[in-house]
Structure 1
Amino acid sequence: MRRTQLALLTLGATILAGVVTVAPAAAGDYPWCAQGGEYDYPGECAYSTYGQCLASVSGRLLYCGPNPRSAYGQQRVPPPRPPRRTRPVAPY
């Protein structure tokens, strides 16, 4: 009885540790999404290449599209360059 309780406690702790350490990927990380069918917009955005997405949707009545969060998001604007320093010109 004692061994069974210890085994169940160990199993539970192992499963809990596995669940706690797994972090879901953010949707903005990958540029391609499987869209249509059972997926809401923007879809399952878990593919780094178009080929990976095509392989995943094959036979599932889905299609691949760009991740709108990465494709149509606001682009970063570089900060303006500081004005160029010039030496004063000596009068004649």
Structure 2
Amino acid sequence: MHKFLLAASCIGAVASCAVLAPSAAQARDYPYCIKGADYGSSVGDCSFDTYQQCQATASGRFDYCDANPFYASKQPIAPPIRRRGRY
């Protein structure tokens, strides 16, 4: 009975971690990333809506902010401006 309860609790813990963990798409839905020595990956921590938020977090540390290379803007892209030729 003890082994059954231990196995059931382990399975429950693993299942809850899998459900509650953010997906890769959710983690990359922000336009700014903090990078530096404190962050192991080349992408860093991309959880900032504004550059100012990122700068405030990086302040006083050997970290810096950069645009998220995987961010897909939700704003529609403006059509290109058509320029007329010279007369």
TM-score by length of 2: 0.56
CA distance in 1, matches of 2:10, 2:67: 40
Instruction: Using the aligned pairs only, state the percent identity.
Output: 36
- Show the counterpart of 1:20: 18
Change in CA separation of 1:13 and 1:39 when aligned onto 2, cut-off 3 Å: closer
TM-score by length of 1: 0.54
CA distance in 1, matches of 2:48, 2:11: 32
CA distance in 2, matches of 1:57, 1:36: 9
- Runs of 4+ aligned residues of structure 1 deviating over 6 Å after TM superposition are none
CA distance in 2, matches of 1:59, 1:8: 45
- Show the counterpart of 2:3: 5
- Larger-Rg structure: 1
The alignment covers a number of residue pairs equal to 73
Change in CA separation of 1:52 and 1:70 when aligned onto 2, cut-off 3 Å: same
Task: Report how far residue 60 of structure 1 moved.
Answer: 3.2
Q: Which runs of 5+ in 2 are unaligned?
A: 80-87
Q: Which runs of 5+ in 1 are unaligned?
A: 79-92
How large is the Cα RMSD of the aligned pairs?
2.9
